Amino acid sequence: MARRKLAACSWQRVAGKYFKKVFLYVIRKGLPAARCQLHASHMIKLTNVSKIYPPNILGVRNVNLHIRPGEFVSIVGQSGMGKSTLAKLLFAEERPSSGKIEIGGWDISRIKDRDIPLLRRQIGVVFQDFKLLPRKTIAENIAFALQVSGERMKRIKEVVPQVLTIVNLGDKAKRYPFQLSGGEQQRVSIARSLIHRPKILVADEPTGNLDTKNTREIMELLKRINEFGTTVVLVTHNREVVNALKKRVVTVENGEIASDVEEGRYRL
Amino acid sequence: MISILRVIKFAFQNFWRNFWLSIITISMLILTLLTVNILLVLNVLSDQTTKFVENRVEVSVYFNKGVTDIQAANAADSLRDLNQVRDVEVITADEAIERFRDRHANQADVLKSLEEVGENPFGPTLVVRAKSVADFDLILQALDNPQFSKDIRERENFTDYKTLIDRVRTITSRVRLFGFSLAAIFLFITLLIVFNTVRMSIFIHREEIGVMKLVGASNWFIRAPFLLEIVLYGLIATVFVAAVTLPSVAVLDPYFSVYFDGPVGILSFFQADVWRIFALEFGILSLVSMTSTSLAMRQYLKV
Ligand SMILES: Nc1ncnc2c1ncn2[C@@H]1O[C@H](COP(=O)(O)OP(=O)(O)OP(=O)(O)O)[C@@H](O)[C@H]1O
Ligand SMILES: [Mg+2]
């Protein structure tokens, strides 16, 4: 009898141990807590970064770039010069062929696949095409982003109206993307990029599909986000946008940084 | 915890959204499992067939004319002492002639020639059955003992039975091999179909997956619904196959039992291990399809 009890106990112990292991694994993989918080100083630092796409296509070459926290930096340049490549390197969509990329003191040059989600939760990303899910309302679109990154229902209910208010779309939460103008859709996508309160926002031609009025709205929004302390990296080739901003401008030419001016203008 | 619930929710969503794809995949899984279970039934049946044939093997030993029934009974007793002997039937000379008459009842010429002989031309006969066919050689050696051998007129040739049994064994092992190959082929096709299903499912969900990656969903969270969906398919297929197999076996068992002239044991085979059989099938199926899913995800998901 005692022996059977003992056997049962050890069985439970083994199972318990195993369960704990699995549980911890799931927790680590499923809900990566802020394992790596970005430090505010040295927000973005690229040292001798090159990206060569296979087989031998130049993306960027020898880029040295230092972006301080809270800065608003525009990256300009003609088509195919490597602006998007530069942006993709920042949120680890691409890895550099050589050189070092640090984000908030975290060297992401050789970032592991499983750590990329951690990075993405601290960098908001916005694209020219808004990447909204057409069969979900805009509130659901934002809630989806929160759900898949493991947020609790309670927090989702809090955050969704918050970010929709920031982009001034609180009254259109129940609409579907096709029921919104391009500018409004882009605002939804910006709202979505804000759900994790990112310290960095990377926007690759966010106004590329928009008319002047909508472009101005989006730019106002980005400026406001920047004023609240988020570092903004804006990729664009819209002359008016850059000139109106009166912020730092980095010009990319043939994959290299051709000029880097504080309070610059678009010159080509 | 909340993630796990969401993974489950997403897995079910995938399932419904690709309804027809799901149905096709599940059908293939069902087909594979059915083949495996038919294979199991065949296995039991072929075992039974071999046993049936083996049990029926008997070697007759004919004594000379004039050997008394008592002598025959003595020989029978000494055979019964052998461990390997299942039973020995003694057919007396009178019974032997009766049987002969019965057997040739409508062959007048044969009966007539028997009349012409006048007296009973038969001696007693022993019908020997062994516990195992392999033991016959040994048993019959015992009859080489001069005490008996002088009285024995003829021994039925055992090698005929041997070739018969060998043939039965060859056939059953071929049936087994065929069933096994069929199951293996189906399993391979399952692998391909699951691979394709996952590939298409990834394609259908590419926008969601893109957003997930963008906003920092963990790789685990992106992958798990696909794996779970596949396990769900396996579970549905296993339950379905169990629900088809068990009643079919219950219906067929009596028919086979009549045919084999005794309990055939298919039903009891499944009943004894019902959980283990289907859990094992489910486990192997899940393993195979999860492997396939992982391969597809590695190829097309890139997370
Ligand atoms: N995944 C890829 N594989 C191979 N080559 C690529 C890839 N992505 C970009 N390139 C190449 O790298 C170079 C830079 O591309 P990039 O997208 O960075 O340009 P861009 O400055 O953003 O242009 P645009 O203003 O048109 O968006 C181009 O020659 C392009 O063809
Ligand atoms: Mg580009």
Q: Which residue has the higher pLDDT, B259 or A253?
A: A253
Taking an 8 Å cut-off on Cβ atoms, the answer to whether B216 and A153 are in contact is no
Taking residues A75-85, report their average pLDDT: 91
Quote the pLDDT of residue B144.
76
Taking an 8 Å cut-off on Cβ atoms, the answer to whether A120 and B215 are in contact is yes
Quote the pLDDT of residue A3.
46
Cα A202 to middle of ligand 2, angstroms: 12
Name the pLDDT band for A268 (thresholds 50, 70, 90): low
Q: Which residue has the higher pLDDT, A14 or B185?
A: B185
Q: Smallest Cα–Cα separation from A127: which of A204, A215, A180?
A: A204
Q: Is A19 exposed, middle or buried (0-12, 13-18, 19+ CB in 10 A)?
A: exposed
- Model confidence pLDDT, tens digit, residues B249-298: 888 888 888 877 777 788 888 888 888 989 999 999 999 999 999 999 99
CA distance A215 to A64: 30
Quote the pLDDT of residue A42.
56
Is some CB atom of chain A closer than 8 A to the CB atom of B8? no
**Pick from A32, A134, A152: which is nearest to B218 by CB?**
A32
Quote the pLDDT of residue A11.
47
| ipTM for this model | 0.80
Q: Min CA distance, B3 vs chain A (Å)?
A: 6
Q: How far is CA B142 from CA A205, B82, B135, B156, in A?
A: 100, 9, 11, 15
Is some CB atom of chain A closer than 8 A to the CB atom of B303? yes
**Residue found under tokens 């990447």:** A131
Quote the pLDDT of residue A39.
58
The CA-to-CA distance between both ends of chain A, in Å, stands at 88
What is the share, in percent, of chain B residues with pLDDT greater than 90? 26
CA distance B81 to B303: 74
Taking residues B28-37, report their average pLDDT: 91
C-alpha angle B140/B143/B145, rounded to 5°? 135
Is some CB atom of chain A closer than 8 A to the CB atom of B298? no
CA distance A168 to A218: 11
Q: Min CA distance, B215 vs chain A (Å)?
A: 6
Q: Smallest Cα–Cα separation from A244: which of A252, A253, A254, A236?
A: A236
pTM above 0.90, yes or no: no
Taking an 8 Å cut-off on Cβ atoms, the answer to whether A29 and B220 are in contact is yes
Cα B206 to the center of its chain, rounded Å: 46
Name the pLDDT band for A34 (thresholds 50, 70, 90): very low
Quote the pLDDT of residue A28.
46
Residues A237 and A41: beta-carbon distance below 8 Å? no
Quote the pLDDT of residue A177.
95
Name the pLDDT band for B27 (thresholds 50, 70, 90): very high
Quote the pLDDT of residue A267.
65
**Pick from A113, A144, A196: which is nearest to B211 by CB?**
A144
Cα A31 to the center of its chain, rounded Å: 18
User: At residue B201, does pLDDT exceed 80?
Assistant: yes
Taking an 8 Å cut-off on Cβ atoms, the answer to whether B3 and A150 are in contact is yes
- From the CA of A89, the nearest ligand is 1
Taking residues B36-60, report their average pLDDT: 82
Q: Min CA distance, B226 vs chain A (Å)?
A: 14
Most confident of A234-238, A259-263, B252-256: A234-238
User: At residue B211, does pLDDT exceed 90?
Assistant: yes
**Pick from B210, B215, B218: which is nearest to A192 by CB?**
B215
CA distance B53 to B167: 11
The full set of domains in chain B, from first to last, is 2-53+164-300 (no CATH), 58-157 (3.30.70.3040)
Name the pLDDT band for B130 (thresholds 50, 70, 90): confident
Q: B83-117: buried (b, 16+ CB within 10 Å) or exposed (e) per residue?
A: ebbeebeebbbeebeeebeeeeeeeeeeeeebeee
Taking an 8 Å cut-off on Cβ atoms, the answer to whether A131 and B215 are in contact is no
> Which residue, by CA, sits nearest to atom 16 of ligand 1?
A82
Most confident of B43-52, B53-62, B241-250, B253-262: B241-250
Q: Which residues of B touch A37 (CB under 8 A)?
A: none
SS3 string of chain A?
CHHHHHHHHHHHHHHHHHHHHHHHHHHHHHCCCCCCCCCCCCCEEEEEEEEEECCCEEEEEEEEEEECCCCEEEEECCCCCCHHHHHHHHCCCCCCCEEEEEECCEECCCCCHHHHHHHHCCEEEEECCCCCCCCCCHHHHHHHHHHHCCCCHHHHHHHHHHHHHHCCCHHHCCCCHHHCCHHHHHHHHHHHHCCCCCCEEEEECCCCCCCHHHHHHHHHHHHHHHHCCCEEEEECCCHHHHHHHCCEEEEEECCEEEEEECCCCCCC
Taking an 8 Å cut-off on Cβ atoms, the answer to whether B212 and A195 are in contact is no
What are A171's two structure tokens?
């009254």
CB pairs under 8 A between A and B: 76
- Model confidence pLDDT, tens digit, residues A140-187: 999 999 998 888 888 899 899 989 998 989 899 999 999 999 999 999
Cα A46 to middle of ligand 2, angstroms: 19
Quote the pLDDT of residue B236.
95
**Pick from B208, B210, B216: which is nearest to A196 by CB?**
B216
The full set of domains in chain A, from first to last, is 2-38+70-98+120-261 (3.40.50.300)
**Considering Cα of A156, then A160, then A162, then A166, what sign does the dihedral take?**
positive
Among the ranges given (A124-128, A261-265, B10-14, B39-43), the one the predictor scored with the smallest mean pLDDT: A261-265
Tell me which residues of chain B, numbers 129 to 188, contact chain A at a CB-CB cutoff of 8 Å: none
Name the pLDDT band for B163 (thresholds 50, 70, 90): confident
Quote the pLDDT of residue B43.
84
Cα Rg, chain B, nearest whole Å: 32
User: At residue A44, does pLDDT exceed 70?
Assistant: yes
Quote the pLDDT of residue B214.
92
Taking an 8 Å cut-off on Cβ atoms, the answer to whether B220 and A150 are in contact is no
Name the pLDDT band for A13 (thresholds 50, 70, 90): low
Quote the pLDDT of residue B289.
92
Mean pLDDT of chain A: 84
Q: Which residue has the higher pLDDT, A192 or B270?
A: A192
Q: Which residue has the higher pLDDT, B227 or B50?
A: B227
Q: Which residues of chain A are at the B interface, by a Cβ-Cβ cutoff of 8 Å?
A: 26, 29-32, 113-114, 116-121, 125, 131, 133-134, 144-150, 152-153, 192-193, 195-196
Tell me which residues of chain B, numbers 214 to 243, contact chain A at a CB-CB cutoff of 8 Å: 214-222
> Which residue, by CA, sits nearest to atom 11 of ligand 1?
A59
User: At residue A204, does pLDDT exceed 90?
Assistant: yes
User: At residue A32, does pLDDT exceed 50?
Assistant: no
Q: Min CA distance, A33 vs chain B (Å)?
A: 11
User: At residue A116, does pLDDT exceed 80?
Assistant: yes
What's the length of chain B?
Answer: 303
Taking residues A72-78, report their average pLDDT: 92
Residues B238 and B246: beta-carbon distance below 8 Å? no
Name the pLDDT band for A30 (thresholds 50, 70, 90): very low
CA distance A8 to A255: 66
C-alpha angle A29/A35/A38, rounded to 5°? 135
Q: Which residue has the higher pLDDT, A41 or A156?
A: A156
Q: What are phi and psi of B31, to 5 degrees?
A: -60, -45
